[in-house]
Structures are given as structure tokens and as C-alpha cells.
């Protein structure tokens, strides 16, 4: 094949695996990947991200050995596993240093191809656990709308569940890989809540686990605390999935919509098609601060973050926190409930019935008390620079500040043009 181009790469780099091309697809995991790329780039460390090649978001068997390649936030092409290994070997031979391998998700990933790549490089490996997909193929760990519970999956615990057999098979495959790599591997969690759930299923790896939150909170935001209007702005934020609480939010809206004391908002990329719910378009892929700015600009008083699953982190919560929004959440919402109780910026209730009763009686009083107490959130939310610790310690001290350019040689592939077409098409649709 002909050489397509020569991609510039700094002398030190990270090799990162994700579930999809983060330039094309949104979601929390891809937001984390994008933020990591920018952070490492700020310190003159290149970020080489590979993701399973997808067509319109779907995996096709005949493409399972192909990877989309993004280097420092720039789309670089499509390679098969063999050519990816050859390209990385070549850049290493030119003097580049692979500081570490980061795994962000194994969804869509051909694990045999993944192992072929990791077998060729002896760098330390960090697996970032963003959800519970490595515990159960039902990543929300919900059964009949309720949390499945802590502990290992087992026939006793999972009897009758459609996900049990597949999850057990997946776990055995995952553990074979982890046991092979455990002498150079760490598992990184965004919260203590996530670590507790995951480690209860895999206690044998608990000594290889650490917690690094996605963000750090800087300063104090004093806005949105003096507004004590007789009308409360109530919002639902993000993905309109049932497990995120959209159905419960609609139930609340339908019960309270005729009251003049509430105005209703949706913040996200959808048009909800409900006349009295104002839709505010927000896409964090274009601007990481977009949601936070939108919440501040619209003076949101109350956010319903009614996740039914135990959230491992929740960017949405921290955006509300930094906009001084009063958060109402379910006691089973994982890190959301934990942070609300820790920071005192909302109320945790036990059921949808309690939520409805709260809006019938005490929500205004609760919000005004919160504004009076002035429990300010942060002025800024920045990517946690502790992520820089996820490198070989012996090489990191030499990495910061260096900027020796090498070239990653990318060979042409017909799949390249398909992905370029899809990227252009998605831009036109926005």
C-alpha cells in the first residue's frame, strides 16, 4: 500500500484505546478521552488514540481488525492491527517513547487484536473504568429498574437474568487478560462509589485500584444565588434515557405543568417535542464549557438528576454544582447522591413518590434555603492533572516540556474515505 501521510508526533506519547472515534461520537467516555488528549498535549505529550472502526456507530465483523486513528485531536486514518504495530514500532525506532497504554473502554473491541498490540509493548497499562460493562454486559447493572447489588455475578445472584451467561463468559476472558498484564497494570476509577461497586465483583484486583476524579474544582462561583424569583426554573439535563430519569421527569412535569410557579427546561442535543418544555441545545463536543455556561446563562434553579443506576462520576452533576443549581436526585444514583450529600447542594429522596411530594410542598422553601446559605460551587472545572501520573514514572519527569517531533507513517486504506465521508456528513447535519 502507498504511504498516505506522515503524522507529527512528539517524542513522548500515550497510546489510548477507546470504544469509538471521539471526534465523531459523544458520551461521557469520549468526553474524558478528549479531555485527556488536551491535557497531555498541553505538556507536549502526544496522544495516539485508536478505536474500533465503526460504520454509522455499528460494528461489522469483517472490520474487526481495523482501527480508527486519532493523533492529538486530528483524524489520521484507518489501520489494521498489523500496520498499527508496524507504524508504532517505526516511530519508537526513531526515538519516540511510549509512556503508557490507556484503556478507556472495550466496547466493540476485538480483544485478540488488542492483545496482539499490547504484547508488542512493555509499557505500564492503566484501565479507566467509566461504567460497569466489565462487571455485567448490562452496563447499568439494573434489573427491573433497580440496582442488581454488590458482589460477584453468580448463578444465585443472577438467576433468570438474560445477561448472566454472556457476562460470565466475558468476565473469564477479561480476567485472562488482566492476569497476564497485572504486573504492569492499574485500574483507575473516577469515584469511590465506582470503585466500591467494581471491586466487590473483582476483589482479587482491589490492590491494583486507585481513584482519580475526572475534574478538579477551582475557586468559587457566586452567581445564581441572589435570584429568588417566585418562579423556579426546573431542568432535565443530558441523555433522555429512562435509566437517566427522563420518564420520571416527564411524570413530574405532567403533574406540575399547570402551576405558574415552575418553568421547565431541557438541556441537550434533542428536541423533546413538548410545547412547554424549553429546549436549550448544548453539545459539549464543540465546547467543553457549553453545558456549564448554558446552566449559568439560563439561571437554572433546580435540576432533576434522577439516574436509576449508580453513576460512576456524572459530569452533569458537577456542571450543576458549578452553576449553583439545586440538585434533586434518587438515593440510588451513585456518585450524584454521594456528592449532593457531601456538598450540600440539593436533596436526596428515596422514591419518585417522594419527588412528586417534594414539588407539591417544599421545593421552593428548600431552594431558597440553599440560596440563602450560599454553599457556592466552583468557578472552574478543570481536567484533573493527576491523570499525568498515569505514565511510567521513570519517563514522566523527562517527558514534560520536551517537544521532539517524530513522524507516524500512515498507509492508505479504502476505509479511510468512508470515515472521512461520515465525519463530513455529521458536520453538515449539525
111-118 helix and 164-181 helix, angle to the nearest 10 degrees: 10
Phi, psi of 186 (to 5 degrees): -135, 150
Nearest-CA neighbor of 366 among 341, 351, 352, 345? Answer: 345
Instruction: Evaluate the CA torsion angle 73, 74, 79, 82 in order and state its sign.
Output: negative
Domains of the chain: 3-214+385-429 (no CATH), 232-381 (3.40.50.2000)
Measured CA to CA, the distance from residue 238 to residue 253 in angstroms comes to 16
DSSP one-letter string for 156-170: HHHTT-TTHHHHHHH
Contact residues for 393 (Cβ-Cβ < 8 A; gap 6+): none
Among 297, 295, 349, smallest CA distance to 320 is for 295
The DSSP symbol for 311 reads: B
Packing angle of the helix pair 335-343, 192-201 (nearest 10 deg): 140
Residues in the chain: 430
For cell 402551576, what's the residue?
259
Helix boundaries (H) for 94-186: 111-118, 155-158, 164-181
Compute the distance between CA of residue 232 and CA of residue 142 in angstroms, rounded to an integer. Answer: 32
Report the candidate in 98, 122, 101, 73 with the shortest Cα–Cα distance to residue 10: 98
E strand or H helix at 223 = none
Residue-by-residue DSSP string for 235-278: EEES---GGGTHHHHHHHHHHHTT-TTEEEEEEES-----TTEE
Name the grid cell of 213.
Answer: 476524579
User: What are the angstrom distances between the C-alpha of 91 and each of 119, 282, 403?
Assistant: 17, 39, 14
Sheet holding 232-237, edge to edge: 277-281, 262-268, 232-237, 302-305, 326-330, 346-349
Residues near 160 by Cβ (< 8 Å), separated by ≥ 6? none
Local confidence pLDDT in tens for the 430 residues of the chain: 233 457 788 889 999 999 988 888 878 899 999 999 999 999 999 999 999 987 655 555 557 788 989 999 998 888 889 989 998 998 898 889 999 999 999 998 999 999 999 999 999 999 999 999 999 999 999 998 889 999 999 998 998 899 999 999 999 999 999 999 999 999 999 999 999 999 999 999 999 999 999 999 999 999 999 877 789 999 999 889 999 999 999 999 999 999 999 999 999 988 888 889 999 999 877 788 999 999 999 999 999 999 999 999 999 999 999 999 999 999 999 999 999 999 999 999 999 999 999 999 889 999 999 999 988 999 999 999 999 999 875 455 555 545 566 666 666 555 555 555 555 555 544 5
Residue 43 has what DSSP assignment?
T
Q: How many helices (H) and strands (E) does the chain have?
A: 14, 20
Amino acid at each position: 500500500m502507498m504511504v498516505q501521510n506522515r503524522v507529527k508526533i512528539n517524542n513522548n506519547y500515550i497510546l489510548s484505546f477507546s470504544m469509538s472515534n471521539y471526534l465523531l461520537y459523544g458520551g461521557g467516555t469520549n468526553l474524558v478521552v478528549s479531555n485527556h488528549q488536551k491535557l497531555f498535549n498541553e505538556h507536549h505529550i502526544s496522544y495516539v488514540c485508536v478505536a474500533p472502526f465503526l460504520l454509522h456507530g455499528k460494528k461489522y465483523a469483517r472490520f474487526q481488525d481495523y482501527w480508527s486513528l486519532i493523533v492529538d485531536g486530528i483524524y489520521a486514518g484507518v489501520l489494521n492491527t498489523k500496520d498499527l504495530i508496524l507504524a508504532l514500532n517505526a516511530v519508537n525506532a526513531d526515538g519516540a517513547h511510549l509512556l503508557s497504554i490507556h484503556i478507556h473502554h472495550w466496547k466493540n473491541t476485538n480483544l485478540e487484536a488488542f492483545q496482539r498490540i499490547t504484547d508488542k509493548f512493555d509499557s505500564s497499562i492503566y484501565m479507566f473504568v467509566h461504567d460497569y460493562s466489565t462487571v455485567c454486559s448490562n452496563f447499568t447493572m439494573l434489573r427491573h429498574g433497580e440496582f442488581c447489588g454488590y458482589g460477584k455475578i453468580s448463578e444465585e445472584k443472577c438467576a433468570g437474568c438474560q445477561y448472566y451467561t454472556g457476562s460470565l463468559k466475558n468476565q473469564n476472558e477479561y480476567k485472562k487478560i488482566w492476569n497476564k498484564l497485572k504486573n504492569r497494570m492499574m485500574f483507575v476509577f473516577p469515584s469511590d462509589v465506582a470503585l466500591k461497586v467494581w471491586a466487590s465483583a473483582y476483589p482479587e484486583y482491589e490492590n491494583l485500584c486507585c481513584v482519580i476524579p475526572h475534574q478538579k474544582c477551582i475557586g468559587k462561583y457566586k452567581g445564581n444565588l441572589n435570584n429568588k424569583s417566585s418562579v423556579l426554573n426546573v431542568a432535565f439535563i443530558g441523555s433522555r434515557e429512562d435509566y437517566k430519569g427522563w420518564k420520571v421527569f416527564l411524570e413530574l412535569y405532567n403533574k406540575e405543568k399547570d402551576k405558574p410557579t415552575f418553568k421547565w427546561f431541557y438541556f441537550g442535543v434533542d428536541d423533546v417535542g413538548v410545547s412547554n418544555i424549553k429546549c436549550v441545545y448544548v453539545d459539549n463536543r464543540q465546547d467543553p464549557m457549553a453545558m456549564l455556561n448554558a446552566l449559568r446563562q439560563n439561571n437554572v434553579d433546580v435540576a432533576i438528576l434522577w439516574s436509576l443506576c449508580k453513576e460512576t462520576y456524572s459530569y452533569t452533576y458537577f456542571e450543576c454544582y458549578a452553576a449553583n443549581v439545586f440538585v434533586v436526585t434518587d438515593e440510588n444514583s451513585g456518585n450524584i447522591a454521594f456528592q449532593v450529600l457531601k456538598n450540600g447542594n440539593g436533596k436526596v429522596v428515596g422514591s419518585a413518590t417522594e419527588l412528586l411530594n417534594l414539588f407539591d410542598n417544599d421545593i421552593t422553601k428548600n431552594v431558597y434555603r440553599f440560596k440563602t446559605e450560599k454553599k457556592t460551587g466552583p468557578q472552574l472545572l478543570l481536567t484533573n492533572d493527576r491523570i499525568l501520573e498515569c505514565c511510567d514514572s521513570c519517563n514522566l519527569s523527562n517527558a514534560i516540556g520536551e517537544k521532539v517531533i517524530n513522524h507516524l507513517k500512515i498507509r492508505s486504506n479504502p476505509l479511510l474515505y468512508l470515515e472521512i465521508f461520515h465525519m463530513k456528513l455529521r458536520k453538515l447535519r449539525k
